[in-house]
Amino acid sequence: MTKIPFFLKISVLALLVGGGTWGVYKAFFAPKKPQLFKASEPEKRFIIQTVKATGSIEPENVMKIGSIVTGIIYKLYVEENDLVKKGQLLAEIDDGKGDTLVRSARGELELAQAKLVYAESYLQRQKILFEAGHISKDLYEQISRDYQVAQATVTTKKADYDQALFLFNSKKITAPDDGLVIAQNSSEGETVAVTSPATIIYTIAKDIRKMEVNLEIDESTVGDLKEGMIANLVFEAYPHRTFKGNIYNINNSPTKKGSAVNYSASISIDNSHRLFRPGMSVDATITIAEKENVIALPSNLFRVSNGSLEKIAHVVGYEYKPLSKQERIKALETDHMKTIWIVRDKAFIEQPITIGINDNSYYEVVSGIQEDDLILTDLAEPDTMKEFFQKFFGKGL
């Protein structure tokens, strides 16, 4: 048996140890090339598109009670939370005139009526004399005109009296309908103004069991709303409960707050259990649309850096196939269209897609890709990419 030289044994052992060490180093310690991109097939998801809004709740039918007479509030007869009946006395106004205007107007009316009675009797007597030829035609016509003036004066004075009586009676403010006093807006002794802004004495709700949520909808989302849509409502008073209601009106009149433009949407809600009070704040989530088992892509896929992707394509040996400038402009200017990148046959291909509903995180894909397409989902972080490119291309990059 041939004896193996000692130096050969040492050489073989050194190779084995060195190879093993290099393998361990490569496996566990050697720096690995970073993964420059990721791609995966699109997911199928359940998507629900909603609109968020805030607002407050008020009774559906509200009566704001004021006065048509200027003066001070002499007496208030009801308070907040009182039930009132139609015609019930609510308040009295003191204008400092008492019934003087009524008595004066009535006196003038009675005087005018007395003059009319005399004018009518006088006319009848003069008519007999005129027909007998004892007075001239001109004199008779003058007497007839005096009678007509007396009639007109009675009409005028009657109107003055009616107005004075109406204003006098208006100093006693009564409930126009049955309801619940939800606010006492004024106090005894307070001056009542009838010009803008008019003084509101009471606010009365006809039926507190039916309430209305008034939401402020931003102009960017109001176009998505339709009457009949369901809203989930959360009140600050009941943060752990969700109530439902349907939109029954979307106002076309805008309201402006600074540069923001809002529109109001109304939702009817049952208040039979008296949980809600006027003025309560509410947060609403309105369901626009919902779909199950649809192809969906996350929103970050629409923000791929074309410049970085082109460099990655060069490094990994892939073709880079972007849309032309005209194709991209046409796609992005078309409603419900965006572009993504597909990885196919060692190529990055920019692909226009038609999108549907979204939940702000994921967008439904209506057309443009297949379920087995590989979608570019991620690029390496900018710092990692820069370091790798510098090693690959040199610092001249």
pLDDT at 28: 45
- Percent of the chain at pLDDT > 90 equals 65
Which pLDDT tens digit goes with each residue over 332-347?
A: 888 889 999 999 999 9
Residue listed under structure tokens 């600050």: 236
263, 222 contact by CB (below 8 A):
yes
Residue 197: which pLDDT band, with cuts at 50, 70 and 90? Answer: confident
Q: Which of 2-11, 22-31, 128-137, 284-293 has the lowest mean pLDDT?
A: 22-31
CA dist., res. 318 & res. 39, Å (int) = 14
Provide the residue type at 111 as one letter. L
CA dist., res. 357 & res. 293, Å (int) = 13
Which pLDDT tens digit goes with each residue over 48-57?
A: 999 999 999 9
Which pLDDT tens digit goes with each residue over 230-287?
A: 999 999 999 999 999 999 999 999 988 888 899 999 999 989 888 998 889 999 999 9
pLDDT at 41: 92
Q: Which of 29-33, 162-166, 209-213, 215-219 has the lowest mean pLDDT?
A: 29-33
pLDDT at 134: 92
Residue listed under structure tokens 């507190």: 208
What global pTM score does this model have? 0.60
Structure tokens of 72?
A: 């001070």
Which pLDDT tens digit goes with each residue over 59-105?
A: 988 899 999 999 999 999 999 989 999 999 999 999 999 999 999 99
CA dist., res. 28 & res. 221, Å (int) = 54
